[in-house]
Amino acid sequence: MVDPLLDELLDRCVSYHGHLCMGQPLGVRLALKGMELISTRDPRQMIVLIENDRCIADAIQIVTGTRIGRRSAKLVDLGKMAATFVHTETGLAYRVNVRRVDANATHGEDACRSILRVPDAELLSWRRVCVHLKPEELPGKPKKTVRCTLCGEKVFDGKEVQGAAGPLCRSCAEKPYYREPTMEEE
């Protein structure tokens, strides 16, 4: 595969991501394969579930045009070099996984760019999967908004839980990811 478009795509990823790293060419290849498998390049027709929050997550969003803020890209934080591509109209879905990650490879420009030319089957593996997305997970206006009965803050998209006295945000219902500073920390 010698496609000058691949280098152009890689350059776009690098300028968004901020540096050239293995994640960029891997993300380019993973995204192109996923779109090929579900037969669309239209970000309005796909949802991409990205399985880690590192470098490839940026490249996948740039190449597919999907965005976390548009709900067309979703982070499923499993720490894996993989993503699942769902066609929102046909439901066709494929999970694409990076097979070859040379952790010890020299991460120079040439090594990174050479990833663009590795044959699909050598670099990636893929299989058909089924993904059930709930209506409140899909793009579009929020279908549900409630107010937490404890903190009074709004909770969108059905992410609340039911408490004895009404809906609760998950920070109030469970343990928040933050805590109040102590006197010394203030």
Strand ranges in the chain using DSSP code E only, listed in sequence order: 46-50, 73-75, 82-87, 93-98, 124-129, 145-147, 154-156, 161-163, 166-168
Q: Which CB atom, from 32 or from 57, has the smaller least distance to Zn ion?
A: 57
Options 23, 27, 43, 167; binder of Zn ion; rule CB under 5 A: 23
For the chain, count helices (H), then strands (E).
6, 9
23 versus 25: smaller Cβ distance to Zn ion: 23
Query: Is there binding between residue 101 and Zn ion (CB under 5 A)?
Result: no
The region, left, alpha or beta by phi > 0 then psi within -120 to 50, assigned to residue 137 is: alpha
Token pair, residue 38, equals 């579900």
Q: Is residue 150 at the binding interface for Zn ion, with CB under 5 A as the rule?
A: yes
Residue list 116-135, contact with Zn ion (CB under 5 A): none
The binder of Zn ion chosen from 6, 10, 21, 124 (CB under 5 A): 21
Q: Least Å distance between CB 150 and Zn ion?
A: 5
27 binds Zn ion (CB under 5 A): no
